[in-house]
Chain A
Amino acid sequence: QKEVEQDPGPLSVPEGAIVSLNCTYSNSAFQYFMWYRQYSRKGPELLMYTYSSGNKEDGRFTAQVDKSSKYISLFIRDSQPSDSATYLCAMRTGTASKLTFGTGTRLQVTL
């Protein structure tokens, strides 16, 4: 069983929709949670990170962490075709520097 599980999709939504992307994890030592966006054949781009439980908002993006359920989410409001990409969750413990990634969810926003 992988430490971080993420539905690979693909997830297809119409332009303007609210998108919900999720990851579950098994390691209770994870304290920092990141979301990356990766376009085809490019490196991952950091969108945002959160520490422990709670919400964080940045523009159209909101990240949520529920440590009691070992569940994290990324919401994208007013989705645009340019949001079409693979979204990767990543996380790390408080002492480690390495990131543990999910497999990524491929998102397609259609006109």
Chain B
Amino acid sequence: DTGVSQDPRHKITKRGQNVTFRCDPISEHNRLYWYRQTLGQGPEFLTYFQNEAQLEKSRLLSDRFSAERPKGSFSTLEIQRTEQGDSAMYLCASSLGSSGKRVNEQFFGPGTRLTVL
């Protein structure tokens, strides 16, 4: 499978616990994005990386959220001290970043569905 993969697909946790999600992008893609989608809404941008550098973070990304892409390949998104409002689908996408047109082709993974009890 050469698409974007995410792990786990589902995560149920109790309020206050920490959770970590992983995203493996398409192998030749140097840009990686995280979005969050709640029920009945479109995805909302959280952050993105070019290679290992985190270039932009949304105001949605509170200090309880941290994302890394240590070697410019896979990425992790950690949420500390989870709250019920964090319940959502966390989507990862990747793209090439060599030109403006390539950035338009963001390919999404299947998402990680987080439920905070």
CB-nearest residue of chain B to A98: B45
Tell me how many residues of B have a C-beta within 8 Å of chain A. 30
Digit string of B21-58 for contact with A (CB within 8 Å is 1, else 0)? Answer: 00000000001010100001111110010000001101
Is B106 interfacial (CB 8 A cutoff)? yes
Q: Which residues of B contact A (CB under 8 A)?
A: 4, 31, 33, 35, 40-45, 48, 55-56, 58, 91, 93, 95, 97, 100-101, 103-111, 113
8 Å CB contact of B110 from A43, A49, A92: A43
Digit string of A1-16 for contact with B (CB within 8 Å is 1, else 0)? Answer: 0001010100000000
- B83 CB → nearest A CB, Å: 23
- B17 CB → nearest A CB, Å: 23
Q: Which residues of A contact B (CB under 8 A)?
A: 4, 6, 8, 32, 34, 36, 41-46, 49, 51, 88, 90, 92, 94, 96-104
- A18 CB → nearest B CB, Å: 24
8 Å CB contact of A43 from B40, B105, B109: B109
Q: How many pairs, one residue from A and one from B, have CB atoms within 8 Å of each other in the complex?
A: 64
8 Å CB contact of A46 from B56, B107, B109: B107
Please give me the 5 A-B residue pairs with the lowest Cβ-Cβ distance, nearest first: A101-B42, A43-B108, A98-B45, A49-B104, A44-B108
A97 and B33 within 8 A (CB): yes
CB-nearest residue of chain A to B10: A41
On chain B, the residues within 8 Å of A92 by CB distance are 103-104
Q: Which of B35, B100, B106, B109 has the most CB of A within 10 A?
A: B106
Contact A99-B113, Cβ < 8 Å, known A43-B91, A44-B43, A90-B42: no
Contact A32-B104, Cβ < 8 Å, known A98-B45, A104-B42: yes
